[in-house]
Amino acid sequence: MALPVLVVLGSWHEPAADVWRHLWQTQLGELLANTLLLAAGVGAGTLLVGAALAWLVVAYDFPGRRVFEWALVLPLAMPAYVIGFAFLAMFDFAGPVQTALRALLGPGVRLPDLRAGWGVVLMMTLVFYPYVYLLARVAFREHGRTALEVARSLGHSPQRAFVTVILPLARPALVAGVALAMMEALADFGTVSTFGYRTLTEAVYRVWTGMFDRTAATQVASLLLLLVLALLAIERALRGRRRFTRAPRAAELPRRTLAGWRAAAAVAACGAVLALAFVLPVAELIAWALALPAEQRARRGFAGLVGSTFVLAAASAVLVGALALVLAYARRLRPSRVATAAAQFASMGYALPGAVIAVGVLAPLAWVDRALAAAAEALVGHRPGLVLTGSAVAVLFAYAVRFLAVGYQTTESALGRIPPTLDEAARSLGVTMRGALRRVHLPLMRGGILSALTLIWVETIKELPATLLLRPFGLKTLAIEVWERTSESLWAEAALPALAIVGVGLVPLLLGSRLDAGRR
């Protein structure tokens, strides 16, 4: 699983000194600053929005809370490049909002240009905060009443209890969510290139396509790994030796009912986030789709596209989810530095640009494939084609490399909250390891596993570069359809497949929240 990451690191063995000298002289400082700013901005933004909204829907009651509770996950289904483009279309100088403002207030009126660091951070915060929200909601709920009651019996106000007890207890979940958001921000190319914001990932593509130097491009990409390592190290250092587990049978939090202006403020906060991150871009996409003549909205075989996207997403969720569970569980059974490091290493693919990972998958796979073909040729005599390269296997392998982090972080944070004493209790009752997993851990982790599957599913649907490069003939997903059209600036024609991406992404989000609700 770590092979593609190793391929990336292996790029260093061919020196590309002149490219580095060039980057150093012209822009490396700016690239690093921009990249760090982006990661920090998205980290802070998603933490703030995700944790605040999660606490709001878990601890309080206000009009519409039941709807907001699941609806606030929806922006996860919105690819960042799509919301970015929708916002640009709406709020750009030539867009309807500014045009109307100029008509009303005079030709000199301008809104600040979205094509800047803050614009990119805003877009990514709006669609990545659900990582934090989803994980925090589960954690807040599980810590539940006991923690709060203890805190209050010690004389803390609810607000203070939240800050001093609940928040620290939910820390692994928050960290996992923020880490995912930051890694995804680091790996993003679509949004930063649309917004003209130069990051390391953007530079990877520029060196690759502009200087035709894939080796140097891959080396630039490996800087991203360094950044992630640094972030993880900082987090480990801050966490220290503390461990975070929950009481196994924590009761539901008693919700406080909000009234008056407080209720209005809660509704406004949830409503505003949802409107910006989901309603607005979806409305824009619908408007684009409707503005097209009916026969141009979708090409032939659209249903097939939805179908293949669906199958791939499901397969990826099951496969990567299972892998993540195995890894997380192995680490729990035999906690060692090596196991931890291996797990971390294997999940770093998430912070790498998809195209880099795709090539990292392609190279070893094609090598094996050609060896196989050569062997077969020697045996049978006729020239066989390649079986692995350009197959569903290759695509799924790439998904596993890329999204293992999503599954692992989520699963691990859920597993981590189960006290080890339970394992010992189960063991002392003569239950086997597998039995313990099935009868103790899995039921307790149910929320976490659902989150993991949901996240992998949604990520798979949005994934473009690896699918594009490694797919077999005839396999096409909705994301590819969107890309084929947007790469030709045909945004209106891309609206319907983009809406379908959101639609297919909603399936597990809605299903998950129903299962989740059914549990309670």
Partner 1 sequence: MRPRLLLLLAALTVAAPAATLGAGGEVVIYSARHYGQEPAFEEFSRQTGIQIKTLNGEAGQIFERLRAEGDRTPADVLLTVDAGNLWNAARAGLLSPVTSAELSRNIPAHLRDPEARWVGLTMRARTIVYNPRRVNAGELSTYEALGDPKWKGRLCLRTSGYIYNQSLLATMIRRHGEPRAEEIVRGWVANQPTLIAGDTKIIEAIAAGQCDVGVVNSYYLARALKKDPSTPVALFWANQQTTGTHVNVSGAGVTAHAKNRANAVRLLEYLSGLQAQQMFADTSLEYPANPKAEVNAIVKAWGPFKQDDVNIAAAGEFQAAATRLADRAGYK
CB of 487 to partner 1, least distance (A): 6
Distance CA 449, CA 435 (A): 18
CB atoms within 10 A of CB 95: 16
Alpha-carbon span 58 to 42, nearest angstrom: 23
Nearer to partner 1, 110 or 160 (CB): 110
Closest to partner 1 by CB, 28 or 232:
28
Considering the rule CB under 8 A, would residue 313 count as an interface residue with partner 1? Answer: no
Residue with smaller CB distance to partner 1, 372 or 422: 372
Handedness of CA 147, 149, 155, 157 (dihedral sign): positive
From first CA to last CA, the distance across the chain in angstroms is: 37
| 465 in contact with partner 1 (CB under 8 A) | yes
Report how far residue 218's alpha carbon sits from residue 13's, in angstroms, rounded to the nearest whole number: 11
Pick out residues in 211-240 that bind partner 1 (CB under 8 A): 211-214
> What single letter denotes the amino acid at residue 278?
F
Residue 292 lies near partner 1 (rule: CB under 8 A): no
> How far apart are CB 489 and partner 1 at their closest, in Å?
4
Task: Please report whether residue 392 would count as binding partner 1 according to CB under 8 A.
Answer: yes
Assign 422 to helix, strand or coil: helix
Which range binds partner 1 by CB under 8 A, 127-135, 225-233, 381-389, 454-462? Answer: 381-389
| Distance of alpha carbon 359 from alpha carbon 362, whole angstroms | 5
Strand partners, 256: 60
Q: Is 423 in the site for partner 1 (CB under 8 A)?
A: no
Among 272, 490, 515, 517, binds partner 1 (CB under 8 A): 490
3-state secondary structure of 148: helix
* Residue 328 to residue 180: CA distance in whole angstroms: 16
- 451 phi and psi angles, rounded to 5 deg: -60, -45
* 369 touching partner 1, by CB under 8 A: yes
> Among residues 366, 442, 510, 511, which is the contact residue for partner 1, using CB under 8 A?
366
Q: Which stretch binds partner 1 (CB under 8 A): 141-149, 266-274, 333-341, 390-398?
A: 390-398
Q: Residue 479 corresponds to which tokens in the numbers above?
A: 């994301």
Return the number of the residue (158 or 210) whose C-beta is nearest partner 1.
210
Paired tokens of 174: 């928050």
Q: Judged by CB under 8 A, does residue 90 bind partner 1?
A: no
User: By the 8 A CB rule, do 224 and 200 touch?
Assistant: yes
Residues 16-55 interacting with partner 1 (rule: CB under 8 A): 22-23, 25-27
How near is the Cβ of 429 to partner 1 at its closest, in Å? Answer: 30
Residues touching partner 1, count (CB under 8 A):
71
Compose the 103-142 pattern: x for residues touching partner 1 by CB under 8 A, - for all others: ----x-------x---------------------------
Collapsed DSSP state (helix, strand, coil) of residue 200: helix
152 touching partner 1, by CB under 8 A: no
Check binding of 94 to partner 1 (CB under 8 A).
yes
Whether the CB-CB separation of 55 and 266 falls below 8 Å is answered with no
